[in-house]
Chain A
């Protein structure tokens, strides 16, 4: 067992409207490990990622990031410098005038000088094959381009843990391949939410399924893959017996 990057223990959450979404989620992620997270629409995957970032306030349980328990607002400011979240909706993630501004936003906030920030931003964009978009106005990009640029904005902060919410949604085949290449090349610990098992099988070593507010299963990716194809029950996660 390696060092633990992220540890959730009995995390609970109910929206202010009273809707209980998570009723005790426990998960752990080792450094360098990539974990797939699946679950039906509305199972609470996005909610879970927002809780880890402290963007929603958990109603119970504990969250440890890089060995440190996080609870207060100040803790989460610390978390946000170390954990990167790719939003499900890329439209929410890009808020600067141009792509380059957007990618440099994080490094600038972390205290980099404009020159360093620009260099980092350009390097990340070229690593994702997006250099040609640098000067473009971010809200005029196509959906897939927005998704890739959002990923660049997250990677530019060099996070120790990466949370990706449906990174392949809306990507064409070539972009998806490129994304797989990028993700596999990362040594960062990742949680990847996706509805595409092929993608998860290729990029992750474990897959956990969320259902009815808890972790319904958590096992090796290859097993889950065959499992899904054997059962017509399809994408609804259920326990292996």
Chain B
């Protein structure tokens, strides 16, 4: 994820103002998450596909991401219909598949895919630093933004560090089993990982101070709201209105 495979590109979406995309991305995900009507969530899915197209995301990479998400959802397809209360549409011995359960999982599937797709199209198409900058703009607390940016940057370093420690143990003949020695060694490894993380955090902070850091993470991308961004803003408001309208227009009737 650190490679930010979608972040750099030259599509209309990449050129749109990051602030606009950040706000709309959050709003769209929220509306889609609370929507229940099939019209609304299908419209959301359709819009999400359109956004992915506008961002010219590589279909192959996109498929890989969606594969993981849907792998998790496949589990729900196995578990939920069999355990959800309601009229059974299909029975096999003691297992009854409930109709309501099937509808629920279908909704979850559509919603999740719509949210993942739209987030990839809107947010993954900007470097993490720009997202941080957009969050600053919307007055998200600086400490929170710093936490997100640095966690993002160092998650992988921690993993690498752990790998390094484990390797150091392995080359001296360590292999994990259930003996006391294994638990003690794992304890050492974890402890060492914390110590190193703490030391590294201090040194990185020093390095940041040396380069004039004063509490705010700067970004190379200056925000600039262009004429086309008005069009984007209008399209985004319409998209929200469409999904929201399809959802809430029905409420008085039901």
Contacts and interface: CB of A to CB of B under 8 A. Distances in A.
Contacts of B220: 100-101, 104, 108, 114, 117-118, 121
Contacts of A115: 222
A91 to B, nearest CB: 8
Nearest to B221: A114
B46 interface: no
Nearest to A76: B209
Interface stretch (A81-89, A125-133, A169-177, A219-227): A81-89
B153 A89 contact: no
A105 B153 contact: no
Contacts of B2: 97, 137, 139
Given A139-B156, A139-B157, A109 B219 contact: no
A100 B2 CA distance: 15
A137 B210 contact: no
A91 B210 CA distance: 15
Interface in A76-122: 77, 80-81, 84-85, 87, 89, 91-93, 95-98, 100-101, 104-106, 108-110, 113-115, 117-118, 121
A95 B204 contact: yes
Interface residue tally of chain B, by bracket?
Answer: 20 to 34
B65 interface: no
- Chain B CB count within 10 A is highest, among A77, A92, A106, for A92
B127 A81 contact: no
B200 A92 contact: yes
Contacts of A106: 211-212
Given A97-B128, A109-B214, A157-B211, A92 B203 contact: yes
A113 B222 contact: yes
A55 interface: yes
B129 interface: yes
Contact of A50 (B150, B206, B218): B206
Contact of A109 (B129, B200, B207, B218): B218
Contacts of A80: 209-212
Interface in B2-21: 2-4, 8
Nearest to A102: B211
A5 interface: no
Contacts of A110: 212
A183 B4 CA distance: 34
Contacts of A91: 157, 200
A135 interface: yes
Looking at B152, B160, B209, B222, the one whose CB has the most chain A CB atoms below 10 A away is B209
A153 interface: yes
Nearest to B216: A109
A93 B220 CA distance: 18
Interface residues of A, number: 37
A55, A84, A118: most-surrounded residue (chain B CB, <10 A): A55
A84 B204 CA distance: 15
Interface string B222-248: 100000000000000000000000000
A21 interface: no
Contacts of B72: none
B140 to A, nearest CB: 19
Given A92-B204, A95-B204, A55 B211 contact: no
B103 interface: no
Nearest to A163: B210
A110 B210 CA distance: 11
Interface in B106-123: none
A27 to B, nearest CB: 20
A84 to B, nearest CB: 7
Interface in A18-65: 50, 53, 55
Interface string B83-126: 00000000000000000000000000000000000000000000
B190 interface: no
A181 B212 CA distance: 27
A61 B59 CA distance: 64
Contacts of A93: 207
Interface string B152-169: 111011001000000000
19 contacts: A80-B209, A81-B212, A91-B200, A92-B203, A95-B150, A95-B153, A95-B208, A96-B153, A101-B129, A101-B219, A104-B218, A105-B218, A106-B211, A109-B218, A114-B219, A121-B220, A135-B8, A137-B3, A139-B157
Interface of B: 2-4, 8, 127-129, 150, 152-154, 156-157, 160, 200, 203-204, 206-214, 218-222
Which A-B residue pairs are the 5 nearest by beta carbons?
A: A109-B212, A108-B218, A106-B211, A92-B203, A114-B222
